[in-house]
Amino acid sequence: MNQPRDSFAATANANLETITTAFDAQLATALRWRESTAAERLARVKRLRDAILARREAIYTAFEKDFRKPPAEVEASELLPVLDEIRHVLGRLKRWMKPHKVWPTSTMLGTSAKVQYQPRGRVLIVAPWNYPFSLCLGPLVSAIAAGNTAIIKPSEMTPAVSALLVELMADVFPSNEVAIFEGAAETSQALLALPFDHIFFTGSPAVGKLVMAAAARHLTSVTLELGGKSPTIVDQTANLKLAAETVMWGKFINNGQTCVAPDHVYVHEAVKDAFVSACRAVLQARYGETDAQQKQSPDLARVVNLRHTQRVAGLLQDAVQRGAKVSCGGVVDEAAHYVAPTLLEHVPADAEIMSEEIFGPLLPIIPYTDLDQVIATINAAPKPLALYIWSRDQGNIDRVLQRTSSGGACVNHCVAHFAHGNLPFGGVNNSGIGNAHGEYGFKAFSHERAVLKSSPIMTIKLFFPPYTSKRNFIIRKTVDMLRLPML
C-alpha cells in the first residue's frame, strides 16, 4: 500500500497550525479548479472508487472493531450508498455541469441568460459516527464532482473507521486537494474557526446549531443533515405483515443508530395487537427466538460505545419505571455494548423516550383511534427528518402527507428514500437545512451563478433618466402590464 503523500492528510489529533496550513494550501487549488473539466473531476472520483474497492476487507475489519457490524450490513449501508453515488456522478456529471439557458421574463426582453454552476471553493465535511464511512464519503463525492477541495473531520467515536479513512484519503489525494483531520472537540473548533466556502455537517440538531453559529461568523453557507424523532403510522388498512417486516428492518439495521430510523410507531387500536405480534415474530426469525440467541446473533450490530449504551439503557429504564411494558427484548449488557431489539407498549407521554431522539434499538408502539389526533401530535413536535405511513387508504395517506411536514416521507416503506439518488435528501428546520444526493448534492456544493447578456436592442434604456412625460407614461404602462397573466 502506498505511503501517505504528506503529513497533513494523515495527521491524528490535529493542531491549529497543521489545520491552517492545509486550509491555506487548498486556496490555490480551489481557484484553479474553478476551470476544471468534467473529465478531470470524474478522474478524481474514479480514483476514490478504486481505492475503496481495494480496501473492502479492511473496511469489514474496521466496522467489526467499532460496531461488530456484519459484513452484509457494511456492504448495504456503507459501501452501496457511496458506490451508487459515484455511479450516479459518473453517468450524469457532464449534464449537471452544463450551464442551462433560461427564457427572458417580460421586462427582460432583448437579453439572453443562463445559470452557471461554479464550485463553492474550499469546503468542510464533518461526518457522524453512526454511518462513519458512507456519511463521510457520500458528501465528498458530491464536493469533488462540483469541483471543490475538501477538509474532512471524521468522528472520534469510531476510531477504526476513522483511521481507515485517514489512510484512504492520504493514498488518493494530496492535502492541497483533500485533507482529513482526526480529533475531538478541539479539532472541530479549530476547523469551524476557518472561513470555509461551505460546511456540510451531519449530526444532531444541538451540534448543528453550534455549526451554524460558527458558520455565521464568516457568512459561510451550510448544509445541515440532522435528525429528530421520525414517526411511523400504521392504520387499520395496512398490510401488517409487510409493515412489520419492513419497519423491523428500518428500525434495527445498525442497531437502531440511523438518523431516519422509525423512532416510534402509532398503530390503530384495531390492529395494534396483531402488529406487535407480527413484529415479535420477525425479530425472532431474524435474530433468534431466545434472549441468548439474539445476543449471539452475528446479524445484529452493537451500540457504538459504553456511553451511548448507558444512554439507551437509561431511556429503557426510565420508560419501564414509569409503567411501560416490554413486549420483546429489554436485555442490556453494558460491557458488551449490547441492547436487545426491544418493543415497548403502554409508554407514558412523560417518559424521556417520548421526547429524546432514541438512536438505539428501542421502539415505542403507541395505539390510536383518531388519525387527526396523531397528526396534531406530530405537528406539535419539531419537524422530523422522516415520516412513514402504512396504509391502503389513499385518503389517509393524502391527509397525513398534506397536513404534516418532514424532511422526507415514505408510503408503505421506510428508510429507503435515503437510497434514491434522484430524490433530495435533507431535513426541514430542526431536522436540517439543504439537500444532498445526486444532482441535489452537486448543487449543494455549487454556486448557481446568474449570467445575463445584453443584445443590441437595449430595452432597459426606456428606464434611463431624464424622466420625461413620455418616459413616465411608458414606465407606468410597463408596470401596469405586469398585472396581466403570464402568456
Catalytic residues: 225, 259
How far apart (Å, rounded) are the C-alpha atoms in residues 246 and 259? 16
Residue at grid coordinates 433618466:
465
166, 9 in Cβ contact below 8 A? yes
Picking from 406, 419, 317, the residue whose alpha carbon sits closest to that of residue 85 is 419
Question: Beta 342-345 vs 325-328: how paired, if at all?
Answer: antiparallel
Helix (H, G, I), strand (E, B) or coil at 176: coil
437, 424 in Cβ contact below 8 A? yes
Name the DSSP letter for residue 358. Answer: -
Handedness of CA 234, 237, 240, 246 (dihedral sign): negative
How far apart (Å, rounded) are the C-alpha atoms in residues 374 and 383? 14
How far apart (Å, rounded) are the C-alpha atoms in residues 316 and 339? 10
Helix (H, G, I), strand (E, B) or coil at 159: helix
211, 222 in Cβ contact below 8 A? yes
If you compute the radius of gyration of the chain from its CA atoms, what whole number of angstroms results? 26
**Residues paired with residue 367 on neighbouring β-strands, in sequence order:** 267
Q: What is the longest distance spanned by two Cα atoms in the chain?
A: 91
How far apart (Å, rounded) are the C-alpha atoms in residues 62 and 311? 24
Phi, psi of 454 (to 5 degrees): -80, 165
For 463-485, give the DSSP string. Answer: GPSS--HHHHHHHHHHHHHTTSP
Peptide bond before 466: cis, by omega within 30 degrees of 0?
yes
